Amino acid sequence: MKDILIEEIKQLIAINKDDNIEINPSYLEYFSAEELENIRATLVLKKEQLMDNNVYLDELYEKTKKDDII
């Protein structure tokens, strides 16, 4: 179970799909499965917020190209 969570966390941390994220295995042993689930949930939330922000910035950029800023 912990191995799956760790892999999901690595994927969430990665910027590009091809990034190889290495996390010290000794460091991860200190976390329980519940703590790893909380870390994953926090990363998912942050990634969603970042995506929402990117959509807003894209819309703003498109408006500036048209000079439609309200």
Tens place of pLDDT per residue across the chain (70 aa): 888 988 888 888 887 777 777 878 777 778 999 999 999 999 999 888 888 888 888 888 888 877 655 5
Is the pTM higher than 0.75? no
Which tokens belong to 37?
Answer: 């689930």
Query: At 14, which amino acid appears?
Result: A
Q: 20 by DSSP, 3-state: which?
A: coil
E strand spans, the chain: none
Burial 39-57 (b: 16+ CB within 10 A, else e): bbeeeeeeeeeeeeeeeee
Q: Where are the domains of the chain?
A: 2-66
Query: At 27, which amino acid appears?
Result: Y
